[in-house]
Amino acid sequence: MTDLTPEAIIDKKKAYLFPNQLHFYKNPPHIIKGDMQYLYDSNGKRYTDFFAGVTVVNCGHCNAYINHAVAAQLGKLQHTSVIYLTQPMVDLAEKLSAVLPGDMHQTFFCNSGTEANEGALLLARMATGRKKFIAFEGGLHGRSALTMSVTGIPMWRIDPFPEEGVYFAPSFAVDGEPVNESAEASLSAVREILSTHGDEIAACIVEPIQGNGGMKTPPKDFFKRLKALLEAHGVLLIADEVQTGFARTGHMFAMEAFDVVPDIMSMAKALGNGIPIGAFSARPEVAKAFNKPSASTLGGNPVSATAGLAVLDYIEKHDLTERSARLGELLKTALQDIANAYADVTAVRGMGLMLGMVFKTDGGAEKVDAILETMKDRGFIIGKNGMARNVLAFQPPLVIGEEDIRRMTEALAEVMAEVMTAV
């Protein structure tokens, strides 16, 4: 099979995929190979990846340890569905109960972050007998009808008929505002919603750091105060750790940084390191409400569960949590040094290796796009997100090295010096 040119792939996409699937870059490369923190295109050019496939390959592309375990399982048993007994699923659930905070000892497996959040919201309804939800502007929770309805980013709320009964509070970190003021306004709004609708609300769903919203990071005491407000009204807290989980933030789960144990946690992405998997977990008193039959055909299949087990093993053996915290500090300092030179860069925020460089909303998207394109040409893949697509996203595989960070930030400083005056 010969590799198609990027142009031929774009033509095929246009012909055979729905028109809703966009790609980064004016001139996108055709990526054909991944090896830990590096990607290679069809011309043999190497890129250092600072986006990890949107925070999926925390353990690196094509990680040999994980892929060996997956290949061995593929050769033994690929699928029977959850109505038969298999071991990897229960082993993974047991392992998760050991690494999750608090008493979150029971888990339901599915196939994606959307499905994990959909299940978490359903569990909250079953556990409380209430229907409505609180969500935050700037949060993203999925593509299904309900998860899109609790998503607070306009560009990802494409359903013209969102579900009713979702109350939005402003984000805890609004671009251009001091974070403490945003957080106060956000908590006041939650208080207000609870005072009028508290007894109708099943749960509040929140990302500990709003990834797609642009690495919006709350102050340290935010979730403790939020949890206390919710508890007073019997409202459950769902932490969406689909993007922040599995050592990404310098903690196994970001909620640990805020010293709060949620009632329900959803996970996906890095748990499979590229193999599709989703999960939501809760303590047994909450999980027991989910007692009517429910099954996911591929959820908990032996191959995905084996991948999850190998991922958790790899994270522990290589202490990726500590590595993410340490290298995150290094990267954040370097990014802040660059940002200091530009009035158009309003913040560098995030935790561990989940960092964002925030540009002014006005004109920021053009600058971000120009930087992304030039950095790609120089061999570095960076992400973008934010309410106005105005945030450069740095979420590399956690196996990235100090030398990779040094090379990338040197190139970024040069590229920004060119781009910031030109655009």
Ligand X SMILES: Cc1ncc(COP(=O)(O)O)c(C=O)c1O
Query: What is the binding site for ligand X (CB under 6 A)?
Result: 54, 112-114, 117, 140-142, 207, 211-212, 240, 242-243, 268
| Shortest separation between residue 54's beta carbon and ligand X, angstroms | 6
Which CB sits closer to ligand X, 130 or 141? 141
Cβ proximity to ligand X, 41 vs 207, nearer residue: 207
Write 327-334 long-range contacts (CB < 8 A, 24+).
327/353, 327/398, 327/400, 327/402, 327/405, 328/249, 328/250, 328/352, 328/353, 328/354, 328/355, 330/402, 330/405, 331/355, 331/394, 331/405, 331/409, 334/405, 334/406, 334/409
Contacts of 58 (CB under 8 A, 6+ apart): 52, 246, 247, 248, 270, 273, 311, 315, 320, 397, 398
Closest CB to ligand X among residues 17, 343: 17
Tokens 């299940």, located at residue: 119
Which CB atom, from 41 or from 241, has the smaller least distance to ligand X?
A: 241
CA gap 147, 349 in Å, rounded: 26
Q: Give, for 184, the enclosing helix (H) or strand (E).
A: helix 179-197
| Closest chain position to ligand X (CB) | 113
Alpha carbon separation from 101 to 89, 188, 245, 261, 352 (Å, rounded): 20, 27, 12, 6, 18
Q: How far is the CB of 112 from ligand X (least distance, A)?
A: 4
Least distance to ligand X from the beta carbon of 383, Å? 11
Closest approach, Cβ 111 to ligand X, in A, equals 8
Q: Closest CB to ligand X among 140 and 415?
A: 140
CB of 302 to ligand X, least distance (A): 20
- Nearer to ligand X among residue 133 and residue 370 (C-beta): 133
CB of 140 to ligand X, least distance (A): 5
Hey, what are 370's tokens? 């120009």
Please, which residue, 93 or 206, has the CB nearer to ligand X? 206
**Amino acid letter, residue 154:** P
Shortest Cβ 139–ligand X spacing (Å): 7
Shortest CA distance to 120 belongs to which of 231, 218, 204, 224? 204
